[in-house]
Amino acid sequence: MLMQRCFWPVLFILLSIIVDIDGRQQSKIQPPMPFKLSHLTSNQRGNRQSTEVQQMNPCNGTYIRTNGTTCGLKEIIIGRCYQYQYTNRGPYFNYQTNTKDCTELYEAFERAVRYKPFCEINMSTYEEYFKLTLKDIKPIDRGMFWSGTNMIAHIYSNNGHNYITLEDTLAAVMLNQLTWCGKANDSIGFDYVNCPGACEENPWSDVAFWGLASKTFAESVTGEVHVVLNGSRDATDLAFRTDSFFAKFELPNFRRDQQFNVIRVNVLLLHSPDIPIREKCGEKSLLILEDLVRQRGFDYTCEDDPDALLMIMCGNEYNARECQVARRILRQEWDAKLFGQSLQNQPELFLLIFVLFIVMLCAALLT
């Protein structure tokens, strides 16, 4: 009896509350055009013609995009080195007063590559450079590796303030995103027009720098290690790929049987908003990885989408379907913080009291 008499009024009021909440959200100021952080990092490629490039020296005062050595290579490297140590204070310079000699570091790099044809170099070419720049770095419990998650992993590592990735070290910062190749019998010693993308006769030359960088960095981390992998790659691509830098140069070089070792490998497996899930922890390639990790004597954990990384992914793609509700609730919380609890919740509170009143009235009428 009570149910029948009160069902429709209560339903009507509940519906009007829902419509009201929705209406208020719709009327909120719409955010500006979808904006992704990735737009900031992607290269702004010019669309100049590439046909004349071969005859030009692109570093004589006009900017022309080529496939050759980056113009100003030396100045960029030395400048970045100064900036890292004196302005940004990267993770290993924050508590130190001694700094490395940037010119000396550049010269070690130059000795390795200048006048040498790109296809004749191999990993040992860069040994001296990494000995000077990377060997003394010892991340404890904060070493972070990534594969297929470049941008999100680096937002999370936050330039070495949260975790330390290879790209947060001086050795990598100095050369990241630059192109270089030596040229034999040449007064400049660098080819500014065209660097080979791949050397068929010596595939090592392609991975020489970043391969040795990865290996040296992997050899330096101890304690807990974090690996950010991508569980929503394309159908053919697995989260753990045996041909990835992580599989080839990093995992095999984690310290063991030494005084200080890697103890545990923590996989943080990400699933991007709006993209289908390919693998979860404990599935497919993650099983292969777990096996390899345990074979090498390390503990293994795997976590799907930890909160902090979820927030970063949704921060970056806040229009994605999975992020909408979180975004709405966040806005409510934020408004409550900005304008006070009472103002925000007043209409809902009023309607709630009204519903309770109707229910009680129905109940009273029935008795």
Ligand X SMILES: *[C@@H]1O[C@H](CO)[C@@H](O)[C@H](O)[C@H]1NC(C)=O
Q: Judged by CB under 6 A, does residue 308 bind ligand X?
A: no
Q: Which of 30, 43, 44, 62 binds ligand X (CB under 6 A)?
A: 62
Q: Judged by CB under 6 A, does residue 276 bind ligand X?
A: no
Kindly indicate which of the ranges 60-68, 215-223, 289-297, 329-337 contains the residues binding ligand X, using the contact rule CB under 6 A.
Answer: 60-68
Under 8 Å CB-to-CB from 174, ≥6 apart: which residues? Answer: 77, 80, 81, 84, 105, 106, 109, 133
| Amino acid at residue number 144 | M
Q: Judged by CB under 6 A, does residue 332 bind ligand X?
A: no
Count of residues near ligand X by CB under 6 A: 27
Rounded to whole angstroms, what are the CA distances from 65 to 173, 192, 271? Answer: 22, 10, 35
Neighbouring CB atoms inside 10 A of 136's CB total 10
Q: How far is the CB of 103 from ligand X (least distance, A)?
A: 24
Q: Which residue has the tokens 């330096």?
A: 220
Under 8 Å CB-to-CB from 165, ≥6 apart: which residues? Answer: 144, 145, 146, 153, 154, 157
Q: Rounded distance, CA 253 to CA 210, Å?
A: 14
Considering beta carbons, is residue 103 or 124 the nearer one to ligand X?
124
* 3 state SS of 144: strand
Kindly indicate which of the ranges 57-65, 81-89, 126-134, 291-299 contains the residues binding ligand X, using the contact rule CB under 6 A.
Answer: 57-65
Q: Strand pairing partners for 226?
A: 144, 266
Q: How far is the CB of 129 from ligand X (least distance, A)?
A: 14
In the 8-state DSSP scheme, what is residue 123? G
Q: Judged by CB under 6 A, does residue 57 bind ligand X?
A: yes
Structural contact between residues 80 and 173, judged by C-beta atoms closer than 8 angstroms = yes
Q: Judged by CB under 6 A, does residue 232 bind ligand X?
A: yes
Under 8 Å CB-to-CB from 103, ≥6 apart: which residues? Answer: 78
Q: Which of 30, 61, 95, 177 binds ligand X (CB under 6 A)?
A: 61
Q: Judged by CB under 6 A, does residue 51 bind ligand X?
A: no
In the 8-state DSSP scheme, what is residue 251? G
Residues 125-164 that bind ligand X (CB under 6 A): 148-149, 152
Tell me if residue 245 is catalytic: yes
Q: Judged by CB under 6 A, does residue 233 bind ligand X?
A: yes
Q: In degrees rounded to 5, what are phi and psi of residue 308?
A: -60, -40
Q: Rounded distance, CA 154 to CA 139, Å?
A: 16
Kindly indicate which of the ranges 95-103, 133-141, 227-235, 337-345 contains the residues binding ligand X, using the contact rule CB under 6 A.
Answer: 227-235
Tell me if residue 348 is catalytic: no
Considering beta carbons, is residue 143 or 148 the nearer one to ligand X?
148
Considering beta carbons, is residue 50 or 341 the nearer one to ligand X?
50
Q: Which of 2, 18, 19, 56 binds ligand X (CB under 6 A)?
A: 56
The beta strand positions in the chain, using DSSP E, are 143-147, 223-230, 262-270, 299-304
Considering beta carbons, is residue 60 or 87 the nearer one to ligand X?
60
Q: Judged by CB under 6 A, does residue 185 bind ligand X?
A: yes
Structural contact between residues 115 and 186, judged by C-beta atoms closer than 8 angstroms = yes
Q: Which of 220, 272, 285, 344 binds ligand X (CB under 6 A)?
A: 272
Kindly indicate which of the ranges 7-15, 157-165, 173-181, 226-234 contains the residues binding ligand X, using the contact rule CB under 6 A.
Answer: 226-234
Q: Rounded distance, CA 318 to CA 35, Å?
A: 9
Structural contact between residues 221 and 254, judged by C-beta atoms closer than 8 angstroms = yes
Mark 3-42 with x for binding to ligand X (rule: CB under 6 A) and - for no binding: ----------------------------------------
Tell me if residue 118 is catalytic: no
**What residues are labeled active site?**
167, 245, 250
Binding site for ligand X (CB under 6 A): 50, 53, 56-57, 60-62, 65-67, 120, 122, 124, 148-149, 152, 184-185, 197, 230, 232-234, 270, 272, 275, 313
